[in-house]
Amino acid sequence: MGFEVFDQRRTPMKGAPSVTIQKSGLISINSAAHALIDAPEVIEILFDPDRQVIAFRAAEISPRSYRLRVSSSSRQAQVAAVSFLGHYRIGHSTSRRYEPFVEEGMLCIDLQGPSTQVHGNRTKTVRPAVEEDREH
């Protein structure tokens, strides 16, 4: 495998709206994306199977709505969407981040559009090489 040129546009800028479908089935909406639809506490999740677009819209509490959990530390809004993803056979074997757009007052992501595979924030600690290691 050869070298790849790093394209910073594939990595969201701090504060840029993003929506992540996590492999656990959680959908995370960062605060910038949540603000695009006036940061509702309750949403409905919609799907356009022809376009492969997921939409989130503000809603009243009902059997079809979901209450968002907003993290006090990251300010990300999250919703457990395993049933939704399974019903529409939307793959989530890897976590993927999408750049959302607003359409008809709904926050949308295009599953066929550009996305970035996301790896966890936890990284394995690697011990730096010391002189003794280099001699052997």
CATH of the domain at 87: 2.40.330
Determine, yes or no, domain membership for 115.
yes
Asked if residue 127 has pLDDT above 50, the reply is no
Retrieve residue 61's tokens.
């509490």
The count of structural domains within the chain is 1
Determine, yes or no, domain membership for 8.
no
Predicted local distance difference test score (pLDDT) of residue 28: 97
* Mean of pLDDT over the chain: 85
Tell which wins on pLDDT, 6 or 16. 16
The span from the CA of 133 to the CA of 125, in Å, is 17
Determine, yes or no, domain membership for 130.
no
Domain containing residue 30: 15-119
Predicted local distance difference test score (pLDDT) of residue 73: 81
One-letter amino acid for residue 68 of the chain: L
Retrieve residue 109's tokens.
């992501």
The span from the CA of 35 to the CA of 77, in Å, is 10
Say whether pTM exceeds 0.75.
yes
Phi, psi (rounded to 5 degrees) for 74: -95, -15
Determine, yes or no, domain membership for 113.
yes
Among 94, 70, 66, 95, residue whose Cα is nearest residue 80: 66
Using an 8 Å Cβ cutoff, are 109 and 98 in contact? yes
Predicted local distance difference test score (pLDDT) of residue 12: 53
Determine, yes or no, domain membership for 38.
yes
The span from the CA of 18 to the CA of 74, in Å, is 13
Determine, yes or no, domain membership for 9.
no
As a whole number, mean pLDDT of residues 1-24 equals 77
As a whole number, mean pLDDT of residues 35-63 equals 97
The span from the CA of 18 to the CA of 5, in Å, is 23
As a whole number, mean pLDDT of residues 4-23 equals 76
The span from the CA of 67 to the CA of 78, in Å, is 9
Asked if residue 86 has pLDDT above 80, the reply is yes
For a pLDDT cut of 90, what percent of the chain falls above it?
71
Predicted local distance difference test score (pLDDT) of residue 15: 79
pLDDT band for 8, please (50, 70, 90 cuts). Answer: low
